[in-house]
Amino acid sequence: MAAPLAVIDVWDTIISFVDPGLLRVAALVCRPLTAPAQRRLFHEIVIENRGEGESSPSQLLANALSTSPHLVKYIKRLDIDSSAPKCYSILSTIQWSHLHKIHLKNIGSVDPSVEGSIGLLLRSQSLQSLHLAVGAVETSKTQTEFLYRTVEACSATRIVSLVINDFHFVPGQHFIDLGGSQPKQRPTLLHLHLLRCSGIASLLRSTFDLSSLHKLGCCGDSWMPDFVELMRDAGELVEHVTVSPHDDSLKGINLSSLFPSLNTIIATRWPGTSV
């Protein structure tokens, strides 16, 4: 017989006060505490460059989910900071049933051979939010093409929120028309934030439907060109705009007339910009 909902809420409340370092112990105290403790333990999974083979974080996670398949429903966020191709290969085989957000860190240092695995990972049916952090690296032609296709792969996803850091693309400089034809149905993006990016507005406009955008942020040294281009598709429903004018770049621009639904403008001085 299943426990009444009120009782479940009580156990969840108790677990919310438990120190994170003691959650593993709490999960073993008694059966009613097991599920609440596991929900907190597995809510956010961080995969880093530690260990190899059977001792790697991705393999350990896969083993845990194989032994206890019910744990996958507790995983809501996945942070990956790994340059190991095997890591992405393993993670792409997991059936993520309740995964809401993926944060790919330092993806500019990842071998482009993982492109297929990342594509599979992004197509998780429950995925809503993606954060792509390229990292402070000088990208080669091959790396830039890989990053371009990673963004483009989002056309086959259901994400509604996208954050991109440090992606600089000059159309025509590295390759020509890599994107091909525009997909028939693009995911509808509601939140978009670009931090220290340049030259990717056209890619985003071809990958996503921006007509329902509610939040738009462009921050960094070269934010203005992308911001202006994105405004061609976004406007009617935008309620929240974040920019980082380090000069008079906003002079002469009436944001209220461009965004009829606008109720919040954050103009933060660069470099004091955070996401």
Please, which residues bridge with residue 168 across strands?
A: 198
DSSP H or E run through 77: strand 77-81
Output the pTM of the full model: 0.83
Instruction: Measure the CA–CA gap between 37 and 49, rounded to whole angstroms.
Output: 26
Judge whether 70 lies within some domain.
Answer: no
For 195-206, write each residue's pLDDT tens digit.
988 888 989 998
184, 207 contact by CB (below 8 A): no
Judge whether 121 lies within some domain.
Answer: yes
Judge whether 94 lies within some domain.
Answer: no
Q: Same structural domain for residues 20 and 141?
A: no
Average pLDDT over residues 19-45: 76
Q: Same structural domain for residues 112 and 31?
A: no
User: Which domain covers residue 26, as residue numbers?
Assistant: 1-41
For 147-186, write each residue's pLDDT tens digit.
888 998 898 888 999 999 998 886 555 444 444 445 557 8
How many domains does the chain contain in total?
2
Q: Same structural domain for residues 166 and 243?
A: yes
Q: What is the CATH number for 254?
A: 3.80.10
Task: Give me the pLDDT at residue 51, please.
Answer: 63
Question: Percent of the chain, pLDDT > 90?
Answer: 36
Question: Model confidence at 273, in pLDDT bands (50, 70, 90)?
Answer: very low
How would you label 102-113 residue by residue, b for 16+ Cβ within 10 Å and e otherwise?
bbbbbbbbbebe
Judge whether 58 lies within some domain.
Answer: no
Judge whether 13 lies within some domain.
Answer: yes
Judge whether 71 lies within some domain.
Answer: no
Judge whether 67 lies within some domain.
Answer: no
Task: Give me the pLDDT at residue 17, please.
Answer: 60
Instruction: Measure the CA–CA gap between 168 and 253, rounded to whole angstroms.
Output: 25
